[in-house]
Every structure is written in structure tokens, then in C-alpha cells.
């Protein structure tokens, strides 16, 4: 199982109050997204992905997450399996 965290910048829409919450709701519906939360700081949201292969992670980010209206940029942080550190 591959685990990753994805930091997301959300485009600001002045005419859509609460637009970030709408993006979070859409992210939470994607299969493989374990959690999705709003942030304060340089990034607007963080999601935790759990998928079977790295390729699945790539597909989710490129074909689903980045296509959501309002998702401006993403930064993906892959977790390391502690077994490889032994």
C-alpha cells in the first residue's frame, strides 16, 4: 500500500464565499482519499491518499484531483515504508 500526503493551493474566488469547502467536499468523494482538510498557511488544503501502487497515486493527482475546479497547484509527499530503512 502506498501512502502520500498532497498539499493543495486553491484558487481564490471572490464571488464564491466558502469555495475551499466546496473543493474539500469534492476531494473527499474521490476513492483513495482517506482525509481532506483545510489549512492555514502557504497551502490551503491537505489530503491523505492510500492507494495500491505509485502509478495509482499519479493517476489520482493528474486525472482527478488537479481537474477539480479551484485546484491551482499540488505538492505530493510520498511516505516511506519503514521496512526499507532496516
Containing domain of residue 9, as a range?
A: 2-73
- pLDDT of the residue at 75: 97
pLDDT tens digits for range 23-80: 999 999 999 999 999 999 999 999 999 999 999 999 999 999 999 999 999 999 999 8
What is the number of domains present in the chain? 1
Output the CA–CA distances (angstroms, integers) from residue 42 to 13, 39, 81, 83, in the order listed: 17, 8, 27, 32
CATH of the domain at 64: 3.30.70.920
Higher per-residue confidence, 17 vs 4: 4
pTM for this predicted structure: 0.88
What distance in Å separates the CA atoms of residue 26 and residue 65, rounded to the nearest whole number?
9
- pLDDT of the residue at 35: 98
- pLDDT of the residue at 81: 78
Q: Is residue 78 part of a domain?
A: no
Amino acid at each position: 500500500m502506498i501512502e502520500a500526503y498532497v498539499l493543495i493551493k486553491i484558487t481564490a474566488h471572490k464571488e464564491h464565499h466558502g469555495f475551499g469547502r466546496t473543493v474539500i467536499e469534492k476531494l473527499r468523494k474521490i476513492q483513495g482519499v482517506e482525509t481532506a482538510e483545510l489549512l492555514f498557511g502557504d497551502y490551503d488544503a491537505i489530503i491523505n491518499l492510500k492507494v495500491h501502487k505509485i502509478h495509482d497515486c499519479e493517476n489520482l493527482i493528474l486525472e482527478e484531483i488537479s481537474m477539480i475546479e479551484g485546484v491551482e497547484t499540488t505538492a505530493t509527499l510520498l511516505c516511506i515504508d519503514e521496512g526499507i530503512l532496516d
